[in-house]
Amino acid sequence: MTNVFELAGKMSLFGLRAAIDSFRRPFEGGQIVGQLGEIGANTLPLVIASGFALGAVMTLHTHSMLVMFGASAISPAVQALAFFLEIGPLVTGLLVAGRAGSGIGAVLADMRATEQIDGMESLSLDSFKFLVVPRIIACTLALPLLTLFLDFSGLAGGFLSEYATSRVSLPLYIYRAFSNFQWANFWPPTLKTCVFGFTIGTISSFFGYTTNEGAQGVGKAATNSVVVSSLIIILLDVLLIKVIFFLFPESAL
Amino acid sequence: MTNGHNPVVAFDAVSKSFGAKQVLSDVSWSVPEGEAVCILGRSGTGKSVTLKLIISLLKPDQGSIRVDQDEVTQLEAPRLSTVRRKIGYLFQDAALFDSLTVYENLAVPLKRLTQKSQDEIDSVVDRVLGQVGLAGDKAKMPSELSGGMRKRAGLARALMLEPKILLADEPSSGLDRITASEIDELLLRQKAEHKTTLIVVTHDVHGARRVADRLVVLDRGKVIAQGTVAEVEHSENEVARKLIGSNA
């Protein structure tokens, strides 16, 4: 138990250092853009495919039930609320933790094992600022964008599934999905994924950057990045929902 | 061991352990400016740790390490960075950044730590790559280089900031005798032309005899002999004599 608290403390200090360093020159714009591209390129196809499949399957499951209660018309609204409020942020967080988080952990651990990080330090370069901070910033910025992709691909999957059964038109589907939608249903849940992104970036970078077990540490860092990031995201999700309900009571259904 | 010159690197009663394993124990030695010291010893006797202590990638448990009069064990980030700029480090496996080309590997320190223009950086990179015989390979990725070429590229990167002190960790390991000799030549040329102080960790006694003005022999974390090659050959310590004589 002491080890868990010690690890949590070290990760928190690591994240704090990254947050402070992100406001310190040089700002590593090139590195941030490069990492954004890498996280986007690695994760976007997975996010779109997952969102589309989830949307289609969810509509298939809910449609017959809603028809039974004569409420099939609210199916698009249910879909939109479910994706924007919860499915989009959480699933995107878990997908990024699995795809990009493991990659970050493995790459940094490999750089540690092959002395590339020591090489950087020996050249008077700040390896933390150059390698860690851009990855955390990129994760923080990428998550909301990827979440939007998952939300809309989920709606697209839902529409196709709905169209297959009821031949609903696209304009009508969109109207029904967003007619009672409020900004409070959109901004807070989407922006909470910045916290998820910061968490994934920090935890993955922590395990990769601080490993000292050579090649064995690479696999361990990748695994730990995914497991711990996923767990913390799920816990944070519960906490942040409470915070959002407190700050934006109108977003509570 | 100062030979009338100021020591540019000096260890005084340095100890370092990792957990229960004592790697260095009360080690003292120094190297005068412009000389070449080879650190010899069996595997696991703290040779590479010694280099990392000099450049402060590791901190000693106790003792003093002075680099060009600066006590590196006490230095914080800004001053440490200044001291590190005086030191070039050739890592055992070169430690090239594998996502960057050879050119980019060499240009990184110049771009980030100097005010040189792009033309000046290109010119310095071309000159140093020419010196190490990699003039036509600057667009290659590290994964496309052979072991010897990686070592040369690593050496070129270590020389980019014109260091006063060059640390080389096993510069000939994994290389054939001819390629190893070529690397030794490059080190000697650097010393002769730029008066660079060399500190070389090696298992290669043949190379050590060529490169070193002095030897420091480590065994079980302690200095068991130090001096010129002839002095170590006639050392009272049997392990030291065996180490220096094993390839002779």
Inter-chain CB proximity B93 and A119 less than 8 Å: no
Q: Which residues pair with B225 in a beta bridge?
A: B217
Asked if B14 and B60 count as a contact pair (C-beta separation under 8 A), the reply is yes
CA distance B150 to B96: 8
pLDDT at A156: 97
* Helix or strand (DSSP H, E) at B71: strand B70-71
Cβ neighbour number for residue B43 with a 10 Å cutoff? 7
Q: With pLDDT > 90 as the criterion, what percentage of chain A qualifies?
A: 77
CA distance B176 to A174: 70
* Assigned token pair, A18: 């990254």
Residue from B70, B80, B89, B92 to probe the interface with A (highest A Cβ count within 10 Å): B89
Cβ neighbour number for residue B93 with a 10 Å cutoff? 18
Structure-model confidence comparison of residues B175 and A94, the more confident one: A94
Backbone angles phi, psi at B28, to 5 degrees: -135, 130
Sign of torsion, CA B144 A120 A138 A221? positive
Domain contains B115: no
CA distance A37 to A44: 10
Nearest to A81 by CA among A229, A181, A170: A181
CA distance B140 to B137: 5
Domain contains B239: yes
Average pLDDT of the segment spanning A115-139: 95
The CA-based dihedral angle spanning residues A215, A221, A223, A224, taken in that order and rounded to the nearest 10 degrees: 150
pLDDT at B248 over 60: no
Domain contains B131: no
Q: Which residue has the tokens 């412009």?
A: B34
Q: Is B98 on the interface with A (CB under 8 A)?
A: yes
Q: Is B210 on the interface with A (CB under 8 A)?
A: no
Model confidence band, residue A227 (pLDDT cutoffs 50, 70, 90): very high
Domain contains B79: yes
* Contacting residues of A for B91, CB less than 8 Å apart: 115, 118-119, 122
Judged by DSSP in three states, A14 sits in helix
pLDDT at B247 over 50: no
Name the average pLDDT for chain A: 93
Q: Where are the domains of chain A?
A: 75-153+176-251
CA distance B125 to B102: 10
Total domains, chain B: 1
Q: Is A60 on the interface with B (CB under 8 A)?
A: no
Structure-model confidence comparison of residues A63 and A140, the more confident one: A140
Cβ neighbour number for residue B200 with a 10 Å cutoff? 27
pLDDT digits (tens, 9 = 90+) for B180-225: 888 899 999 999 999 999 999 998 888 899 999 999 999 989 999 9
pTM of the model: 0.89
pLDDT digits (tens, 9 = 90+) for B92-150: 999 999 999 999 999 999 998 899 999 999 999 999 999 888 999 999 999 999 988 99
Domain contains B149: no
CATH number, domain of B236, equals 3.40.50.300
pLDDT at B6 over 70: yes
Nearest to B106 by CA among B94, B86, B115, B195: B94
Taking the CA of residue A114 and the nearest CA in chain B, the distance in Å comes to: 6
pLDDT at B144: 96
Asked if B71 and B148 count as a contact pair (C-beta separation under 8 A), the reply is no
Name the average pLDDT for chain B: 91
Domain contains B119: no
User: B90 is in which domain, residue-wise?
Assistant: 7-95+163-245
Model confidence band, residue A18 (pLDDT cutoffs 50, 70, 90): very high
Omega before A188 within 30 of 0, i.e. cis: no
CB pairs under 8 A between A and B: 51
Which of A54-58, A100-104, B36-40, B243-247 bottoms out in mean pLDDT, i.e. has the lowest? Answer: B243-247
Average pLDDT of the segment spanning A201-210: 97
